[in-house]
């Protein structure tokens, strides 16, 4: 699995929506998400519409319109998001549980490469299925409290 720019932007936009999530019908304007995460507005619109079709976000039209999570952040996993935006979490299709395709090896059951790729897939899935948007928000808050390291400075 390789996270594309589209996948990264989707996660960053959802991080904003998760941090601002409230049980009422309040929304976050697309312009605000764009500015807070430095995501081109046109690209962000496409991504949010895609996430809307997946049932991850919902929108409100009009002057006071914007986007919000459709479910609480505790109920949205990174696996769900990435599978929708990127496709399979598996590094090769012959080990994918949801997007399986037969590979070209003579014997899949005895293929050493496939065996390693399956372990890799299992590790990725274990993490992505466990981490929710709520946990991602908690992690972002913790990291914001850490002092900048010397390598974080640019001249």
Q: How far apart are CA 6 and CA 46, in angstroms?
A: 10
Higher pLDDT, residue 152 or 146: 146
Query: Which tokens belong to 47?
Result: 């991504």
Which pTM value belongs to this model?
Answer: 0.86
Q: What pLDDT, on the 0 to 100 scale, is given for residue 144?
A: 87
Which H helix or E strand runs over 14? helix 5-19
**What's the average model confidence in pLDDT over 36-53?**
96
5-145 is a CATH 1.10.3720.10 domain? no
Q: Which DSSP string corresponds to 110-125? A: G-HHHHHHHHHHHHHH
- How many C-beta atoms surround the C-beta of residue 79 within 10 A? 19
């Amino acid at each position: 699995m390789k996270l594309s720019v589209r996948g990264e932007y989707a996660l960053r936009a959802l991080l904003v929506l998760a941090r601002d999530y409230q049980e009422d019908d309040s929304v976050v304007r697309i312009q605000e998400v764009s500015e807070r995460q430095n995501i081109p507005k046109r690209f962000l619109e496409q991504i949010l519409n895609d996430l809307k079709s997946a049932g991850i976000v919902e929108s409100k039209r009009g002057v006071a319109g914007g986007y919000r999570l459709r479910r609480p952040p505790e109920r949205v996993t990174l696996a769900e998001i990435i599978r929708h935006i990127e496709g399979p979490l598996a590094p090769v299709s012959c080990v994918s549980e949801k997007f399986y395709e037969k590979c070209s090896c003579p014997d899949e059951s005895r293929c050493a490469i496939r065996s390693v790729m399956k372990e890799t897939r299992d590790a990725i899935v274990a993490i992505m299925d466990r981490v929710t948007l709520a946990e991602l928000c908690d992690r972002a808050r913790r990291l914001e409290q850490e002092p900048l390291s010397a390598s974080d400075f640019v001249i």
